């Protein structure tokens, strides 16, 4: 599992300064790397980190262009291929694989793509509000157009975009327990990099991998909120396609279960890690 101590680091990964933090140092416990969603940061997981330390060493990464990690002026640098290559290098060089990998929303899409690319690095995969991509070409093009429109709004009126984003139906009726903190994370993002993130790694541009889900060898835990009907359907489909998988529906939560119901979400993660930790 490797021996390491808690630290906060900024390191160069393929020309980009990445920020990541380890949050505990128990060498007998496995490593869990957490990937946040769009406009988030490693701090987005602060409500569940203490609980997770009971069974693992959590590591949070600010993804490309988010918070304290640099971005790029060209949106192609945010593509699936580029970001997967970044994380493969970071995980391989900074830790001792295999590790547990957890992703929320955008982070879940990235975690899934990474695991399919380098399954040898992953001991167990946890996906909260994840998707395998948009199969229908008309829907795919419509999503690309929507993300392009959102990218334009970010560049022209970032504060207006943030207000619209907070009210999206996908987030459900349940409010986060710490709204001011997490809204502050969003407000501090770089608009150029947020725009490029949507253009380079939006749901409409990522590779569709439904036909590859059967390739997943590591155990998979799917997590979704009970108010998020769209993603309940998607994750029920994913469970059927992934051989070694479980689906947990977190009650009284929307798209952001780890914020809406941190205790229940952390318990699901802990149970999965405990069950699948190599002795």
70 — alpha (psi -120 to 50), left (phi > 0) or beta? beta
Q: Which residues pair with 11 in a beta bridge?
A: 18
What is 244-262 written as a DSSP string?
SEEEEEETT--S-HHHHSH
pLDDT digits (tens, 9 = 90+) for 80-103: 999 999 999 999 999 999 999 999
- Structure-block tokens of residue 95: 């830790």
The mean pLDDT of the chain is: 93
The model's pTM: 0.95
Number of residues in the chain: 279
What residue segments make up the domains of the chain, in order of their start? 8-276
For residue 174, pLDDT over 60 is answered with: no
Residue 197 near residue 64, CB atoms below 8 Å: yes
Other CB atoms within 10 Å distance of the CB of residue 185: 18
pLDDT at 169: 80
Instruction: Evaluate if residue 1 carries a pLDDT over 70.
Output: no
CA–CA dist 175, 179 (Å, integer)? 7
Q: Are the C-beta atoms of residues 143 and 160 closer than 8 Å to each other? A: no
**pLDDT of 254 higher than 90:** yes
Whole-Å CA distances, 152 to 13, 85, 142, 148, 271: 28, 27, 15, 6, 42
The CATH code of the domain at 8-276 is 3.40.50.1820
């Amino acid at each position: 599992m490797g021996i390491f101590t808690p630290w906060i680091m900024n390191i160069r990964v393929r020309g980009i300064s990445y920020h990541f933090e380890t949050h505990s140092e128990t060498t007998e416990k496995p490593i869990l790397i957490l990937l946040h969603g769009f406009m988030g940061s490693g701090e987005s997981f602060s409500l569940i980190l203490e609980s997770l330390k009971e069974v693992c060493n959590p590591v949070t990464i600010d993804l490309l262009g988010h918070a304290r990690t640099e971005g790029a002026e060209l949106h192609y640098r945010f593509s699936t291929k580029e970001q997967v290559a970044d994380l493969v290098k970071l995980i391989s060089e900074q830790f001792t694989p295999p590790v547990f990998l957890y992703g929320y929303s955008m982070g879940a899409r990235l975690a899934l793509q990474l695991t399919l690319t380098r399954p040898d690095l992953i001991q167990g995969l946890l996906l909260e509000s994840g998707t395998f991509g948009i199969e229908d070409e008309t829907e795919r093009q419509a999503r690309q157009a929507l993300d392009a429109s959102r990218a334009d709004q970010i560049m022209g009126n970032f504060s207006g975009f943030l207000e619209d984003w907070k009210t999206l139906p996908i987030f459900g009726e349940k409010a986060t327990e710490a709204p001011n903190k997490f809204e502050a994370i969003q407000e501090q993002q770089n608009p150029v990099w947020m725009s490029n993130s949507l253009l380079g790694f939006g749901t409409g541009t990522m590779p569709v991998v439904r036909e590859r889900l059967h390739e997943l060898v590591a155990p998979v835990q799917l997590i979704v909120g009970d108010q998020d009907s769209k993603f309940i359907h998607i994750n029920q489909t994913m469970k059927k396609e992934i051989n070694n998988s479980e689906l947990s529906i977190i009650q009284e939560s929307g798209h952001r279960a780890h914020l809406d119901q941190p205790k229940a979400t952390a318990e699901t993660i802990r149970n999965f890690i405990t069950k699948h930790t190599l002795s």
